[in-house]
Copies of this chain bind each other. A is one copy, B any other.
Amino acid sequence: MVHVDLPINKTAEEPLYRQIIRLVRERIVEGSWVPGERLPGSRELADTLGISRISVVNAYAELREEGLIVGQAGRGTFVTGPNGLTNDPRALPSVAANPIAHVTQRHPPNVIAFSGGAPAEEFLPVSLIRQAYNAVLDRDGADALLYEETEGYLPLRQAIAEYSRTTGINCRAEHVLITGGCQQALDMAVQALLSEGDALITTNPTYLGILDLARVRRVQVFGIPMDEDGIKIDALQEALIHHRARAIYIAPTYHNPTGTVMSIHRRRRLLQVAADFGVPVLEDGVYHELGFAGTPPPPLKALDSEGIVLHTNGFSKIVLPGTRIGYVIGEGPVWERIMRVKRAADICTPTLNQRAMHYFLQTGALSGHLDRVRKIIRERRDSMIRSLQRHMPEGTRWSTPTGGMYLWVELPHNGPTVAELYNNAIKQGVTFAMGPMFHTDGGGGYFMRLNFAAQAPDKIEEGVRRLRAAWHGLSAQNSGVVLRDTEHIL
């Protein structure tokens, strides 16, 4: 139970429920109240504070909306964690501030966006896709416009199963469910595996879409530290002992945002630990095909002798995002439930899109397309690293990923945090994704994720120049602050 220390002022102008919201938010953000701790019931807190219960009820409702606390039927109300996805703890995680907005946000043309999750426009095989749509409408007519089976278009599922077997995943079409992009694959899996209030374990940092999903689905998230081999196993075991986790979300290959590739040894240990605790693993494989320097280890699902892995993937990053075709591969008792979740969600993924994607795959064009994409993004990674070396202040550090689309950059700690930098960067005409958005605990204050794949080299160079300008502008101010702080400490 949290220590209740909320200095309510009954004579203040600020409504009582607003004061409660503000004070609880502060306790959580400053870390006095930690994830998993129970809050008093609304009646109990009202009595403690000597105020009416309705103020507490209203405050709790808003705090739940913000994702700071979660109610569990029959068990009480719990802290879920600081508002990790917004850096301004006072801000409600509104639509605008919501992290995944970065994925879809379209910036004015003068802004160089390193923030997004989309591949570059010039990668998109527009004419091939157009041919695919026309060929399917020619071939199938009205059939391509009717409802599809909930599981998905069978030939596409067969093609995905066939491809997946080449990565070592032992599956057939019946193990494949087609979804609205990889995000819906994750959502279906989360909904099939977890109820409200259940615990989900992931890495820290992690994909912001899974944090978004967990918040909306009222799932508690616990973030486990990583090293260069992936999630730390001892910390994972610790968490599994303390929380009754219902799933472990892992992106083992070209991890978003860090670019890390989990070693084969770590993969095996992870699966062993998950099996020991009887906790399913939700694998995000969406960057697996985007390796440009060496071959990554097989997906977790390929090593899954216990049948505890749900493998999600899709075509958003390797072909095109706007068609929204993803999939999940799984088996066992959860598999029936996941189908029901999908049907209730939207009956089926659009027929025509599935058939067009299948057609595109059948032409054999994917392999050549991927070769081109890998070559280009490797060049862009190198461009961005050169630009960072040229322009960023001393002490800036970054990953050197061997696949995926992102650099994970740490700014020197003697300058602004990324949250401080953000508005200035936009003024300079560049955007990035802020480190704390990827954390469950508000960490990552000096980290940013830069998408190197989405911009041509000249834009990359110019964008990094702008980043530098934004940083130096604030750093000048900040060094004053640092000095004053130092004086104060001295």
Contacts and interface: CB of A to CB of B under 8 A. Distances in A.
A343 B100 contact: yes
A106 B129 CA distance: 27
11 contacts: A95-B150, A103-B147, A104-B147, A104-B348, A106-B149, A133-B134, A187-B345, A216-B345, A322-B350, A322-B352, A324-B350
A433 to B, nearest CB: 15
Nearest to A149: B104
Given A324-B348, A341-B216, A126 B141 contact: yes
A404 to B, nearest CB: 17
B322 A145 contact: yes
Residue in A92, A146, A197, A346 whose Cβ sees the most chain B Cβ within 10 Å: A346
Interface of A: 64-65, 71, 73, 92-95, 98, 100-101, 103-104, 106, 117-118, 121-122, 124, 126, 129-130, 133-134, 137, 141-150, 179-181, 183-184, 187, 191, 195-197, 209, 212-213, 215-218, 316, 320-324, 333, 336-337, 339-341, 343-353
Contact of A118 (B64, B106, B147, B191): B147
Contact of A146 (B180, B212, B320, B352): B320
A344 B145 contact: no
Nearest to A123: B142
A130 B124 contact: no
Given A118-B146, A340-B216, A341-B216, A73 B333 contact: yes
A336 B64 contact: yes
Contacts of A341: 216
Contacts of A352: 322-323, 353
Contacts of A133: 130, 133-134, 137
Nearest to A116: B147
Given A122-B142, A124-B145, 18 more contacts: A73-B197, A92-B340, A94-B340, A95-B336, A98-B343, A101-B343, A118-B146, A126-B145, A133-B134, A144-B322, A148-B322, A180-B346, A183-B347, A191-B216, A215-B340, A215-B344, A345-B345, A350-B353
Contacts of A181: 346-347
A316 B350 CA distance: 11
Contacts of A324: 346-350
Contacts of A64: 336
A196 B316 CA distance: 31
A42 to B, nearest CB: 14
A209 B126 contact: no
Contacts of A118: 146-147
Nearest to A349: B324
A322 B351 contact: yes
Closest 3 CB pairs of A and B: A322-B351, A180-B346, A184-B346
